[in-house]
Amino acid sequence: MKTNVARSDAYLRQKGIKASFQRVSIFDYLHNTTAHPSVSQIFSDLHPNIPSLSRATVYNTINLFVEKKIAIPVQVDGVEARYDLAEPQHAHFHCATCGTIYDIPVEMGHAPKSLEGFEIHEAQLHYKGLCPSCR
Protein backbone atom coordinates (compact mmCIF):
# COMPACT_ATOMS: atom_id res chain seq x y z
CA MET A 1 0.00 0.00 0.00
CA LYS A 2 1.22 3.51 -0.77
CA THR A 3 1.85 5.92 2.05
CA ASN A 4 1.04 9.57 2.09
CA VAL A 5 3.64 11.26 4.25
CA ALA A 6 2.39 14.80 3.60
CA ARG A 7 -1.10 13.95 4.85
CA SER A 8 0.16 12.03 7.90
CA ASP A 9 2.30 15.02 8.75
CA ALA A 10 -0.74 17.34 8.71
CA TYR A 11 -2.82 14.86 10.73
CA LEU A 12 -0.19 14.63 13.49
CA ARG A 13 0.14 18.41 13.67
CA GLN A 14 -3.63 18.76 13.87
CA LYS A 15 -3.53 16.35 16.85
CA GLY A 16 -1.00 18.64 18.50
CA ILE A 17 2.25 16.73 18.06
CA LYS A 18 5.45 17.63 16.32
CA ALA A 19 5.56 15.50 13.20
CA SER A 20 9.13 14.20 13.21
CA PHE A 21 10.27 11.80 10.49
CA GLN A 22 10.20 8.86 12.92
CA ARG A 23 6.72 9.68 14.23
CA VAL A 24 5.36 10.04 10.70
CA SER A 25 6.99 6.72 9.75
CA ILE A 26 5.36 4.94 12.71
CA PHE A 27 2.00 6.55 11.93
CA ASP A 28 2.24 5.49 8.27
CA TYR A 29 3.18 1.97 9.31
CA LEU A 30 0.05 1.71 11.50
CA HIS A 31 -2.02 3.25 8.72
CA ASN A 32 -0.86 0.63 6.22
CA THR A 33 -1.22 -2.52 8.31
CA THR A 34 -4.19 -4.54 9.52
CA ALA A 35 -1.96 -6.69 11.74
CA HIS A 36 -2.50 -4.76 15.01
CA PRO A 37 1.24 -4.87 15.72
CA SER A 38 3.08 -4.80 19.04
CA VAL A 39 5.92 -2.36 19.76
CA SER A 40 8.45 -5.16 19.02
CA GLN A 41 6.80 -5.90 15.68
CA ILE A 42 6.75 -2.21 14.66
CA PHE A 43 10.39 -1.89 15.65
CA SER A 44 11.60 -4.97 13.78
CA ASP A 45 9.68 -4.02 10.62
CA LEU A 46 10.80 -0.38 10.54
CA HIS A 47 14.34 -0.68 11.85
CA PRO A 48 15.91 -2.09 8.63
CA ASN A 49 14.72 1.00 6.74
CA ILE A 50 15.32 3.49 9.56
CA PRO A 51 18.58 2.42 11.24
CA SER A 52 18.46 5.40 13.65
CA LEU A 53 15.15 4.17 15.10
CA SER A 54 15.32 2.67 18.59
CA ARG A 55 12.84 0.43 20.36
CA ALA A 56 12.49 3.14 23.04
CA THR A 57 11.46 5.68 20.37
CA VAL A 58 8.79 3.30 19.06
CA TYR A 59 7.57 2.71 22.62
CA ASN A 60 7.50 6.44 23.47
CA THR A 61 5.83 7.35 20.17
CA ILE A 62 3.10 4.75 20.64
CA ASN A 63 2.47 6.03 24.18
CA LEU A 64 2.26 9.58 22.85
CA PHE A 65 -0.16 8.45 20.11
CA VAL A 66 -2.34 6.72 22.73
CA GLU A 67 -2.24 9.81 24.98
CA LYS A 68 -3.31 12.02 22.04
CA LYS A 69 -5.99 9.51 21.03
CA ILE A 70 -4.31 8.84 17.68
CA ALA A 71 -3.80 5.16 18.53
CA ILE A 72 -5.52 2.72 20.85
CA PRO A 73 -4.26 -0.37 22.65
CA VAL A 74 -6.08 -3.51 21.50
CA GLN A 75 -6.81 -5.84 24.42
CA VAL A 76 -5.28 -9.26 23.89
CA ASP A 77 -4.75 -11.65 26.83
CA GLY A 78 -1.32 -12.76 27.91
CA VAL A 79 0.84 -11.27 25.17
CA GLU A 80 2.54 -7.97 24.45
CA ALA A 81 0.11 -5.05 23.98
CA ARG A 82 -1.04 -4.55 20.39
CA TYR A 83 -1.97 -1.25 18.77
CA ASP A 84 -4.15 0.22 16.06
CA LEU A 85 -5.09 3.69 14.89
CA ALA A 86 -8.09 5.15 16.72
CA GLU A 87 -9.81 6.41 13.57
CA PRO A 88 -12.02 5.27 12.01
CA GLN A 89 -13.50 3.73 15.18
CA HIS A 90 -14.21 0.03 14.88
CA ALA A 91 -14.67 -3.11 16.95
CA HIS A 92 -12.26 -6.05 17.13
CA PHE A 93 -12.67 -9.80 16.92
CA HIS A 94 -9.84 -11.86 18.39
CA CYS A 95 -9.62 -15.48 17.26
CA ALA A 96 -8.64 -17.83 20.09
CA THR A 97 -7.01 -20.35 17.72
CA CYS A 98 -5.03 -18.41 15.10
CA GLY A 99 -4.70 -15.22 17.14
CA THR A 100 -5.76 -13.00 14.25
CA ILE A 101 -7.36 -9.71 15.25
CA TYR A 102 -10.08 -8.80 12.78
CA ASP A 103 -11.44 -5.28 12.28
CA ILE A 104 -15.21 -5.14 12.59
CA PRO A 105 -16.94 -2.02 11.29
CA VAL A 106 -19.33 -0.38 13.74
CA GLU A 107 -21.84 2.30 13.06
CA MET A 108 -21.03 5.28 15.23
CA GLY A 109 -23.48 8.04 15.98
CA HIS A 110 -26.46 5.74 16.33
CA ALA A 111 -26.86 5.05 20.02
CA PRO A 112 -28.47 1.77 20.99
CA LYS A 113 -31.89 2.13 22.66
CA SER A 114 -30.41 1.45 26.10
CA LEU A 115 -28.22 4.57 25.73
CA GLU A 116 -30.97 6.98 24.78
CA GLY A 117 -30.22 10.40 26.26
CA PHE A 118 -26.46 9.72 26.44
CA GLU A 119 -23.92 11.38 24.17
CA ILE A 120 -21.33 8.85 22.95
CA HIS A 121 -17.77 9.98 22.24
CA GLU A 122 -16.01 6.63 22.17
CA ALA A 123 -16.95 2.98 22.04
CA GLN A 124 -14.78 -0.09 22.45
CA LEU A 125 -16.23 -3.42 21.57
CA HIS A 126 -14.11 -6.56 21.72
CA TYR A 127 -15.32 -9.95 20.49
CA LYS A 128 -13.53 -13.22 21.20
CA GLY A 129 -14.11 -16.62 19.66
CA LEU A 130 -13.20 -18.58 16.54
CA CYS A 131 -12.83 -17.05 13.09
CA PRO A 132 -14.43 -18.76 10.04
CA SER A 133 -11.20 -20.53 9.02
CA CYS A 134 -10.63 -21.94 12.53
CA ARG A 135 -14.14 -23.21 13.26
Which residues here bind Zn ion, judged by CB under 5 A? 84, 95, 97-98, 103, 131, 134
| Cβ distance to Zn ion smaller for residue 56 or 108 | 108
Cβ at position 87, least distance to Zn ion in Å: 11
Cβ at position 104, least distance to Zn ion in Å: 8
Query: Exposed/middle/buried for 18, CB within 10 Å: 0-12, 13-18, 19+?
Result: exposed
Cβ at position 18, least distance to Zn ion in Å: 26
> Which are the contacts of 12, defined by CB distance < 8 A and separation ≥ 6?
18, 19, 23, 24, 27, 70
| Cβ distance to Zn ion smaller for residue 28 or 84 | 84
